[in-house]
Amino acid sequence: MSGNATSQHEFTPPPAGEIMGHPKALWNLFGTEFWERFMYYGMRAVLGPYVAMAFFAHMGDQAEAQASLTYGGYTSMVYMTGIAGGYVADRILGYQRSIMLGGAMMAVGMFMLLAPDLTTFLAGLAVLVVGNGLFKPNISTMVGKLYAPGDARRDSGFTIFYMGINAGAFFAPLVCGAWIGAVYGFKWGFFAAGLGMILGLMMFQFLKGWLGHVGKAPEDKKGMGPWIQVLIGAAVLALPVYYLLSKSDVLGILLSVMMLGLIAYFVYSGVRSGQKEQLHRYIAMLILFFANMCFWAMFEQAGSSLNFFARDYVDAPFNFTVFQSANPIFILALAPLFAWLWPKLDEKGVNPSIPRKFAFGLLGVGLGFLVLVLAIKAIGESGAKVHWLLLTLTYLVHTMGELCLSPIGLSMVTKLARPQETGLAMGGWFLSIATANYLAGRIAAIAAGGGGHGEAGSIMGYSEVFNQLWWFGLIVGVFFFLVAPLVNKLMHGVK
% of the chain residues with pLDDT over 70: 96
Q: How far apart are the C-alpha atoms of 452 and 430, rounded to whole Å?
A: 30
Give residue 11's pLDDT.
Answer: 77
Q: How far apart are the C-alpha atoms of 277 and 269, rounded to whole Å?
A: 12
Out of 138-147, 297-306, 354-363, which region has the weakest mean confidence (pLDDT)?
138-147
Could you tell me the end-to-end alpha-carbon distance of the chain, in angstroms, rounded to an integer? Answer: 26
Binned at pLDDT 50, 70 and 90, residue 281 comes out as very high
Query: If 0-12 CB within 10 Å is exposed, 13-18 middle and 19+ buried, where does residue 221 land?
Result: middle
Strand, coil or helix: 314: strand
Bridge partners of 315, per DSSP, are: 387
3-state helix, strand, coil in the chain (%, to 5): 80, 0, 15
Cα–Cα distances in Å, from 186 out to 43, 49, 148?
9, 9, 44
Cα–Cα distances in Å, from 300 out to 45, 72, 88, 436, 437?
12, 9, 27, 8, 6
Q: How far apart are the C-alpha atoms of 357 and 353, rounded to whole Å?
A: 6
Cα–Cα distances in Å, from 142 out to 104, 180, 214, 261, 458?
19, 33, 7, 25, 45
Type of residue numbered 30: F
Q: How far apart are the C-alpha atoms of 303 and 48, rounded to whole Å?
A: 7
Positive or negative: CA dihedral 44, 33, 339, 360: positive
What rounded mean pLDDT belongs to the chain? 89
Q: How far apart are the C-alpha atoms of 367 and 370, rounded to whole Å?
A: 5
Distance of CA 63 to the CA centre of its chain: 25
**Overall CATH class of domain 18-491:** mainly alpha
Residues recorded for the chain: 495
pLDDT mean over 415-420: 86
Give residue 454's pLDDT.
Answer: 58
Give residue 339's pLDDT.
Answer: 80
pLDDT at 5 over 60: no
pLDDT mean over 449-464: 76
Give residue 1's pLDDT.
Answer: 37
Positive or negative: CA dihedral 4, 9, 14, 18: negative
Cα–Cα distances in Å, from 401 out to 114, 277, 358, 374, 465?
35, 30, 8, 19, 20
pLDDT mean over 442-470: 83
Helices (H) and strands (E) in the chain, counts: 18, 4
pLDDT at 28 over 90: yes
Neighbouring residues of 281: CB distance < 8 A, sequence distance ≥ 6: 270, 416, 490, 491, 492, 494
Report the predicted TM-score, pTM, of the whole model to 2 decimal places.
0.84
Q: How far apart are the C-alpha atoms of 70 and 57, rounded to whole Å?
A: 14
| Stronger pLDDT, 390 or 13, i.e. the higher one | 390
Give residue 195's pLDDT.
Answer: 97
Q: How far apart are the C-alpha atoms of 69 and 75, rounded to whole Å?
A: 10
Give residue 4's pLDDT.
Answer: 37
Out of 280-289, 308-317, 387-396, 413-422, which region has the weakest mean confidence (pLDDT)?
413-422
Give residue 451's pLDDT.
Answer: 63
Give residue 469's pLDDT.
Answer: 97
pLDDT at 140 over 50: yes
Give residue 418's pLDDT.
Answer: 87
pLDDT mean over 121-138: 93
Neighbouring residues of 4: CB distance < 8 A, sequence distance ≥ 6: none
pLDDT at 173 over 70: yes
pLDDT at 210 over 80: yes
Query: Could you state, in order of their start, the residue ranges of all structural domains in the chain?
Result: 18-491
Cα–Cα distances in Å, from 317 out to 166, 187, 310, 323?
24, 23, 12, 11
pLDDT mean over 4-23: 72
pLDDT at 138 over 50: yes
DSSP-H helix ranges across 380-495: 388-416, 422-448, 459-491
Cα–Cα distances in Å, from 112 out to 54, 105, 108, 169?
15, 11, 6, 21
